[in-house]
């Protein structure tokens, strides 16, 4: 699998976030920081998540996306669009309830805007652990199945973050 990368673009307030390769938790602090900056922008209109070149995506990254969508629904009154062409990834998204917090589509029309890679940043281990915990708590809150799936992990992560 390709090492994961996140590529971003902004076109008149529409932010495109493209995940390429195998996207893992190490990218999450930078992603969270980028998303927070988007929400504080005066020109923010919407977000499009492009998974068309994603080969793998971990639960931490999924939790960050869910958190972003829930926040967007709360603050703006609508949910973002997520594009997935990989049947396995789409199956995971549906099983976790992402169809309740995103508009899921299977194709993407026109991608003319230039994109730049989101830098990973230099975050402490504690910051990464806190982002992992936060992401999994978000997933747990989405439905009963997720709650059961991630409860033990969240309990362990909570103990580690306190130490």
Which helix (H) or strand (E) is 148 found in, with range? helix 144-162
Asked if the structure places residue 108 within a domain, the reply is: yes
- Cα atoms in the 13 Å half-sphere on the side-chain side of 100: 10
Give domain status of residue 132, yes or no: no
The answer to the question of residue 66 being in a domain is: yes
Percent of the chain whose pLDDT exceeds 90: 64
pLDDT tops 80 at residue 1:
no
Range of the domain at 72: 5-120
Q: Domain with 77 in it: what CATH number? A: 3.30.750.24
* Residue 114 maps to a domain: yes
Judge whether 29 lies within some domain: yes
- Position 89 pLDDT exceeds 90: yes
- For the chain, the domain total comes to 1
Query: Would residue 142 count as lying in a domain?
Result: no
Domain membership of residue 75 (yes or no) is: yes
User: Is pLDDT at 145 greater than 70 in this prediction?
Assistant: yes
Cα separations (Å) of 50 from 34, 53, 81, 146?
Answer: 16, 8, 8, 23
Q: Which residue would you say has higher pLDDT here, 46 or 107?
A: 46
What distance in Å separates the CA atoms of residue 34 and residue 134, rounded to the nearest whole number?
A: 16
């Amino acid at each position: 699998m390709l090492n994961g990368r996140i590529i971003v673009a902004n076109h008149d307030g529409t932010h495109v976030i493209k995940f390429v390769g195998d996207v893992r938790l190490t990218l999450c602090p930078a992603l969270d920081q980028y998303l927070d900056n988007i929400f504080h922008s005066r020109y923010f209109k919407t977000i499009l998540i492009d998974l068309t070149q994603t080969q793998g995506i971990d639960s931490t990254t999924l939790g960050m996306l869910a958190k972003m969508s829930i926040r967007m629904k709360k603050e703006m009154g609508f949910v973002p669009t997520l594009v997935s062409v990989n049947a396995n990834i789409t199956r995971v998204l549906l099983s976790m309830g992402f169809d309740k917090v995103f508009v899921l589509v299977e194709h993407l029309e026109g991608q003319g805007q230039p994109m730049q890679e989101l830098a990973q940043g230099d975050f402490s281990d504690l910051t990464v652990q806190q982002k992992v915990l936060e992401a999994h708590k978000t997933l747990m809150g989405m439905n009963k199945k997720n709650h059961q799936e991630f409860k033990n992990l969240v309990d362990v992560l909570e103990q580690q973050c306190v130490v």
